[in-house]
Amino acid sequence: MQHTLASLTLTFLLILQPAFAITKSPGCGKTLTPGTKTGGTGFSNNLTITSNGLKRSYLLHLPENYAPTRPHGLIFSFHGRGESGEYQEKLSKFSNGNVNPHMLAVYPDGVEKQWQGDPAATTDDVTFTLDMLDQISKQYCMDLEKVYASGKSNGGGFAANILACDPVASAKIAAFAGFAGAYYQNPGGNCDPPTVPIKCNPGRKPVPIFEVHGSADGVIAYNGGSRRNRCLPTLPHFMTEWAKRNGLGSQNSSTVLDSGRVVKYDSTIRPSTADTKTARPSTTSKTASSTQASPICPAANGTTWTTSEKTKFQVLCGYDTTASYYGRPIYDLRSFSKCIAACEDDDDCGHVAYNGVCYLKRGSKGLKKIGSDVNRVAIKLG
């Protein structure tokens, strides 16, 4: 599923790029400086830049076949809140040569692990993104017509809502994708998810947008709602507003995929003579039964784990559908056994959900659907 999502994003992004236009960046012709790495996940270059007076870091992936005279596309991939560029590289798979053989990929680190658009963020990450693009394009050979932005959760909101709605960034970046994106709006007290006004001021039209969202997403709900003193729109409302801004009207066509587990909603217009920037614009969204990453169960399903303090947990593999965890997700516990140990130490914890981030949860219910994508769930016994 993860592999499929990464391929889908790439397919979407590539469909949108006009075959004819190439704008070489100033870095074309410059040889790589000694020490610069090319290769797959884990072989990215950790670079820094000062933006708005802050020292920022980002991982830059150069494909194995990077050639200083060939203009390469570039994908920004923004991590979820509490995560990092390093984690996002693994999650997105954009450094995997089988998925993305030719394009550069950039995995920036958020200040305090979050992005502009989050209720708690105070940084100007639009400027940071444009500064990175400027720095990279001066040093590496890029096609400036093929710059894309994507991200997960808070990072998805930053890509498909903040950058895509920014008058300058939306004109420099060809297409935008959000995964389980958090599209916070601030209507001032009154949150009606299907109608909340969406603040957006893109610098061109149409803006190609792709969104994938799990209908059982327990963090950023598909049907939106009040969250952290902000308002999340329903996904259909968010995407329909994009379709309308793009001049597509409010109709969509739907296609059932993956034996009914996924529905694709698509609004596409025929290219008109006025729209020369993107040859085949579309506004597409998908629902999947889950967008959580975790193909591997930590132990055989149904087996019992006994901790060093003799507490027993039963491992269950499947989607955890309880909507809430208590407290914040614990991002530092990137290990299933540490996550269980934290639950053991906490009297309120009845079970854990784990998908690379540890969630301590009350009660012991919540395992619903089983598939190849699983949250790892363990229930405290007795």
Q: Which is nearer to ligand NAG, 140 or 265 (CB)?
A: 265
Which tokens belong to 77? 């991939």
**Shortest Å distance, C-beta 229 to ligand NAG:** 26
Backbone angles phi, psi at 101, to 5 degrees: -75, -25
* Residue keyed to tokens 């802050």: 54
Q: How far is CA 234 from CA 34, 192, 193, 223, 226, in A?
A: 49, 9, 5, 4, 11
Sequence-ordered strand ranges (E) for the chain: 45-51, 54-61, 72-78, 104-108, 142-152, 175-179, 209-214, 225-227, 230-232, 253-257, 262-268, 282-288, 304-306, 312-318, 351-354, 358-361, 375-381
The residues binding ligand NAG (CB under 6 A) are 46, 48, 57, 59, 86, 109, 235-236, 239-240, 252, 265, 285, 301-302, 316-318, 370
**Shortest Å distance, C-beta 246 to ligand NAG:** 13
**Shortest Å distance, C-beta 370 to ligand NAG:** 4
Sequence-distant (6+) residues with CB within 8 A of 191 are 225, 226, 230, 231
**Shortest Å distance, C-beta 317 to ligand NAG:** 4
Q: Which is nearer to ligand NAG, 95 or 240 (CB)?
A: 240
Residue number of the CB atom closest to ligand NAG: 236
Left (φ > 0), alpha (ψ -120 to 50) or beta: where does 182 sit?
Answer: beta
**Shortest Å distance, C-beta 252 to ligand NAG:** 4
Half-sphere exposure of 93 (CA within 13 A, CB side): 15
Please list the alpha-helical segments (H only) found in the chain. Answer: 2-15, 85-92, 125-139, 154-157, 164-165, 169-172, 235-245, 336-344
**Shortest Å distance, C-beta 186 to ligand NAG:** 22
* Residue keyed to tokens 């994908």: 75
Measure the CA–CA gap between 346 and 366, rounded to whole angstroms. Answer: 19
**Shortest Å distance, C-beta 69 to ligand NAG:** 29
Q: Which is nearer to ligand NAG, 121 or 144 (CB)?
A: 121
Measure the CA–CA gap between 181 and 84, rounded to whole angstroms. Answer: 16
Q: Which is nearer to ligand NAG, 62 or 141 (CB)?
A: 62
Q: Which is nearer to ligand NAG, 163 or 316 (CB)?
A: 316
Q: Which is nearer to ligand NAG, 63 or 108 (CB)?
A: 108
Q: Which is nearer to ligand NAG, 45 or 311 (CB)?
A: 45
Sign of the four-CA dihedral 117, 121, 123, 125 = negative
Measure the CA–CA gap between 351 and 340, rounded to whole angstroms. Answer: 8
**Shortest Å distance, C-beta 369 to ligand NAG:** 9
Q: Which is nearer to ligand NAG, 204 or 368 (CB)?
A: 368
CA 147 to chain centre: 16
CA 97 to chain centre: 19
Backbone angles phi, psi at 214, to 5 degrees: -75, 130
Q: Which is nearer to ligand NAG, 170 or 240 (CB)?
A: 240
Which tokens belong to 97? 């040569």
Q: Which is nearer to ligand NAG, 84 or 346 (CB)?
A: 84
**Shortest Å distance, C-beta 180 to ligand NAG:** 14
**Shortest Å distance, C-beta 109 to ligand NAG:** 6
